Amino acid sequence: MASRTVAVASASGLHARPAKVFVREAARLGVPVRVRLGEKSVPAGSMLGVLSLGAVRGTVVTLEADGAGAEEALDTLAALLSRDLDAPDTPDAAGAAGAGDGGALDA
């Protein structure tokens, strides 16, 4: 199973708009990805699941996926989490794909 560890960079953490952008992109990618925080693991495409993690700015989460397209999906989602998705100039998920991995902690 492939994984990426990344610190959440959004000012409000994975709440409201950042969670919406992240979940929308995870669903668009079509690869089953899970977000792990401690012992809790939720589907990246589940808004309620992602919100239930309670991840605030600086929280380190692990993204996990397996199968075709897993590496690319993890790279894209890690790059998304490493950006401040609360910033006013942040594009929606479609524009955010492939935005770099400045906050990724491992590959």
Q: What are the residue numbers of the active site?
A: 15
Instruction: Report residue 102 CA to chain centroid gap.
Output: 13
What is the C-alpha separation between 42 and 22, in angstroms, rounded? 13
What is the C-alpha separation between 51 and 95, in angstroms, rounded? 22
Give the Cβ contact number of residue 105 at 10 Å. 14
